[in-house]
Amino acid sequence: MIPTLILFAISLMMFMMSMNLVYRALRDPTTSRVLGRLTEGHPQMADKALGVEWLDRAFLQAGLGRPSERLGLWLLIWAGAVALAALLGGWFFFLVFLVAPPVCVKLFVSWRYQRRVKRMVEQLPQLLDHCVRSLKAGRTLADAVLNAIEASHDPLKDSISRVARNVQLGVSLPEAVQDFAELYERDEFRMFALGLKVNHRYGGNASELLENLIVLIRERESGARKLKAMTGETRVTALVLALLPLLVGGYFMVTNPTFLVNMWHDASGQHLLIAAFGLQAIGCFALWRMVRSV
């Protein structure tokens, strides 16, 4: 069993190294020029997250930079940890180290993104209010938005600064804000971009449009808070049901540590513990989906 796991770990490391070499080759400028000549004359499709770009996008949304620059190193460290766990702990620890790190990274990045974008949405009415005051003072819409970006605070300032950079590179303001809205995938940002696009194409009272957008965003935030308060009992119940088996297991480990240890060394007990761990994971996922639906 152990030689098979070692062979599998070595093959996994070699596969990751080969994928890293392929990714670096695709990022090479010469390869990019060749691919550009090959696709010349073909219709351009909408940009999609290909390769490891989806990983860069997720980390950028969470404000964690671009991990693809050191992706090969992290994959090698992960493969080494998996191989070491297989050698020292057997196939169970091999599976744990194989699955747990990517799942933990995914959960952390998702939590960081939700926390960050929630704070950004809370700061957006202040930015729009600054734009309205600048418009009433006689500034153009583009100047008002750019000045509001400079006067905003993190995390909104750090993320929406890409709009100012794109405008400086020659991109129109509605397209720059649309790019920002599509990156963070929130309806509030999309409505802001749509308002700028409509005003840029058809004209109109920009200050009134932004004021209505401020009212709409604050009403959505108020409704979300009321819904959160109404579903508080459901969320607390789900949390208790998810933590109760873990707390019981921790209680057994503190009061009678040999009970679970002896159970793990027994073949049937080991199967029961693994089944319990799997059912706990499935139950937590089901409760999480139920809480998200309310």
Give per-residue pLDDT as tens, 27-36: 554 444 444 5
One domain, residues 232 and 218: no
Q: Determine the structural domain holding residue 232 and report its residue range.
A: 225-293
User: pLDDT at residue 166 above 60?
Assistant: yes
Query: Do the domain assignments include residue 248?
Result: yes
One domain, residues 216 and 231: no
One domain, residues 204 and 245: no
One domain, residues 135 and 155: yes
| CB-CB neighbours of 112 under 10 Å | 16
Structure tokens at 158: 């750090």
Query: Do the domain assignments include residue 128?
Result: yes
Choosing from 175, 206, 222, the residue where a domain stops is 222
One domain, residues 256 and 203: no
pTM to 2 decimals?
A: 0.61
One domain, residues 187 and 243: no
One domain, residues 125 and 198: yes
Query: Do the domain assignments include residue 250?
Result: yes
One domain, residues 132 and 216: yes
Choosing from 190, 222, 254, the residue where a domain stops is 222
Reported as a single tens digit per residue, the pLDDT across 251-285 is: 888 888 787 778 878 888 888 888 888 888 888 78
Query: For the chain, what percent of residues have pLDDT higher than 70?
Result: 80
Whole-angstrom distance, CA of residue 107 vs CA of residue 272: 27
Q: From 95, 96, 99, select the one nearest 5 (Cα to Cα).
A: 95
Whole-angstrom distance, CA of residue 224 vs CA of residue 187: 14
Query: Do the domain assignments include residue 158?
Result: yes
Please give the backbone phi and psi of residue 115, each rounded to the nearest 5 degrees, phi first.
Answer: -65, -40
One domain, residues 201 and 241: no
One domain, residues 213 and 121: yes
- Average pLDDT for the chain: 77
User: pLDDT at residue 37 above 50?
Assistant: no
Amino acid at 95: L
Whole-angstrom distance, CA of residue 93 vs CA of residue 116: 34
The number of domains in the chain is 2
Amino acid at 50: L
Domain of residue 134, CATH code: 1.20.81
Query: Do the domain assignments include residue 132?
Result: yes
Query: Do the domain assignments include residue 83?
Result: no
One domain, residues 195 and 245: no
Query: Do the domain assignments include residue 124?
Result: yes
Whole-angstrom distance, CA of residue 116 vs CA of residue 149: 17
Query: Do the domain assignments include residue 96?
Result: no
Whole-angstrom distance, CA of residue 173 vs CA of residue 199: 11
Q: What are the DSSP calls for 90-149, one per residue?
A: -HHHHHHHHHHHHHHHHHHHHHHHHHHHHHHHHHHHHHHHHHHHHHHTT--HHHHHHHHH
One domain, residues 209 and 121: yes
Choosing from 222, 250, 278, the residue where a domain stops is 222
Give the pLDDT band (50/70/90) at residue 2.
low
